[in-house]
Chain A
Amino acid sequence: SQQGEEDPQALSIQEGENATMNCSYKTSINNLQWYRQNSGRGLVHLILIRSNEREKHSGRLRVTLDTSKKSSSLLITASRAADTASYFCATPGGGGNKLTFGTGTQLKVEL
């Protein structure tokens, strides 16, 4: 079963605009991660935010975490065509290093 649900399922924006994706999860977590998947490729880790953090930045990425609402958001600023990909949130579940992935948001950035 999937722990995270991303919203929206698909997002189409123009280059230069910001893209925001949301993730909701069900159980308590100690961290939440975001991954990117380009078409036909494996997933690439983008950023990890711990449960005691509320916001984290990495380049053009900004991630927020609200543990009271069991939700996270990923903001990509000044998007580029190369940002076109699927984005997944992932949370640990069942102990150890077991990661459960959400349903993903398909982002398309048009020129």
Chain B
Amino acid sequence: DAGVIQSPRHEVTEMGQEVTLRCKPISGHDYLFWYRQTMMRGLELLIYFNNNVPIDDSGMPEDRFSAKMPNASFSTLKIQPSEPRDSAVYFCASSFVSSGEKLFFGSGTQLSVL
């Protein structure tokens, strides 16, 4: 298996633009997580899905953030409009319930909002 795949690897955009981050989880995994990592706040859980259904979105910072999982093999995290304070590394991770909650992370998307 190729592991969790995220795209793009790097994204540079201007304030006010829409940003869409993409994630393909490991096949057969039924949990998908979006995390954000910054120097100031560390790793923060934004939202997670179980069987494509959002379970907990309490970490989503504002209404500007939205996430979808239309099927078991694809998820998006959208920021509209983007702001400089959204600059961070965004990670997607997936897990299989029988793996004992072990998470498999993608390589992340480095987002810079100018």
A contact residues vs B (CB 8 Å cutoff) = 2, 31, 33, 35, 41-45, 48, 88, 90, 92, 94, 96-104
Contacts and interface: CB of A to CB of B under 8 A. Distances in A.
B105 A42 contact: yes
B43 A96 contact: no
Contacts of B100: 31, 48
Residue among A42, A88, A98 with the highest chain B CB neighbour number at 10 A? A42
23 contacts: A33-B101, A33-B102, A41-B107, A41-B108, A42-B93, A42-B106, A42-B107, A42-B108, A43-B93, A43-B105, A45-B103, A45-B104, A48-B100, A48-B101, A88-B43, A90-B103, A96-B48, A97-B50, A98-B56, A99-B101, A99-B103, A101-B35, A103-B42
Contact of A97 (B4, B42, B91, B97): B97
Contacts of A92: 101
Nearest to A91: B101
Contacts of A104: 42
Nearest to B43: A101
Interface in B34-62: 35, 42-43, 45, 48, 50, 55-56
Residue among A35, A99, A103 with the highest chain B CB neighbour number at 10 A? A99
Interface in B88-114: 91, 93, 95, 97, 100-108
A104 B95 CA distance: 21
Contacts of B95: 97
Q: Is the interface of A mostly helix, strand, loop or mixed?
A: strand
Nearest to B102: A45
Given A31-B100, A33-B101, A104-B42, A97 B48 contact: yes
A42 B36 CA distance: 11
B103 A43 contact: yes
Contacts of A88: 43
A43 B105 CA distance: 6
